[in-house]
Structure 1
């Protein structure tokens, strides 16, 4: 949990830098210029598909399906609650930062999806995907070997980076937006599952009460 809090502190520092800049950071502009130069029709189709699958609604649906599978497998609530709770907590932090930072998106003429003008920092797509991917690792790989855990974390990171890259490519976010999304998603995966574990005795009693009514 301490590592998760540290990631949130780093995110807040990045948010302050973005807020103070009142526009794209130098790195944002440099990465964006490179991205525009490397656009192509096949890459656009792939980016649009990835962006659709890992949209905020998509990650909520995937999180719910993951929870259902874990519940059926475990016949218990802990892991089934931890995954969607991680996604929802990350989404809540993201929405709060969007309101506080109130950053504009890249120009609409650069956006290849339906135009958006809502807050750009952090990226909701990236946050949700990172929270789901890292959250699944947190609840499924805890008892695995060190090698297996490292591979699982790298796999989750790859999925989150692909989602982030799709948002960058489509012109919907700056690189600082998706970086913050990765940080928030990873922080939620480090903080929420342990909190759920500590709360499970109370949740289990509530669940038993509901079942007996």
Structure 2
């Protein structure tokens, strides 16, 4: 089942109409994302309200703050900046153009942009509703206008690089496929750790952002209803 999900784009190369793709985006990506948004908001309000912002998490932020060094400050800055808004958008656009050029399949090429877009919509609306404060440690970055829950940097990195990891399964060289997949999967965790280290987010902000980005990537990956291959295509040996 996992194999079928990961490789769902490998056999069907029939071009959908723009209207059909838009309809599938609405039904198979946006509607489930709205349901997930309600869950994410509910968890955030629970943390910010009855659970008193999970005060035990403050010890983690203080632990990281007490171990800051100039070298780690620099490394965490560059790691965190990998998920800046303009970096994520620029990387997604570049990936879309490259995929479109290589495959000539616009409905496949839009996957990175769709994943990032779904994540961003859920993240922005959630942070406005929940309104959680930043950790009570010195912040190494200027706080954006959004609140702490969930981490936008981590969510965006997860949505984009998990999609890249799925796309990487088409790489035919085994060692290169594994290497690219592992590197892509490590990026969101590196970004999340950097955001905690720099005092910008609580642990639960990062954890829920990882989940949010994963949900966005999964919804984007399965947004289009694909046609099963015909009997002649199924019988054709793989290239």
- Provide the TM-score with structure 1 as the length reference: 0.78
1:86 aligns with 2:115: yes
Write the distance in 2 (CA, Å) between the matches of 1:50 and 1:180: 19
- 1:53 — aligned with what? 82
Write the distance in 2 (CA, Å) between the matches of 1:20 and 1:102: 11
> 2:196–2:203: 8 Å Cα contact kept in structure 1?
yes
Give 1 or 2 for the bigger CA radius of gyration. 2
Structure 1 residues 187 and 149, CA gap change in structure 2 (3 angstroms): farther
> 2:61–2:135: 8 Å Cα contact kept in structure 1?
no
Give the Å deviation of 1:17. Answer: 2.7
Give the Å deviation of 1:26. Answer: 3.3
- 2:214 — aligned with what? 186
Q: Once structures 1 and 2 are overlaid, which stretch shifts more, 161-170 or 144-153?
A: 144-153
1:146-188 Cα shifts (integer Å, max 9, x gaps): 9998776543331100011111111111111111111000111
> 1:120–1:173: 8 Å Cα contact kept in structure 2?
yes
Q: Please give the residue correspondences for 1:38-187 in structure 2 after superposition, counting only pairs within 5 Å.
A: 38-107=67-136, 110-116=138-144, 118-141=146-169, 154-187=182-215
Structure 1 residues 39 and 64, CA gap change in structure 2 (3 angstroms): same
Structure 1 residues 92 and 157, CA gap change in structure 2 (3 angstroms): same
- Provide the TM-score with structure 2 as the length reference: 0.70
- 1:198 — aligned with what? 225
Report how many aligned residue pairs link the two structures: 196
CA RMSD of aligned residues (A): 3.2
Larger helix fraction of residues:
1
Gaps of 5+ in 2: 6-27, 228-239
Gaps of 5+ in 1: 201-213
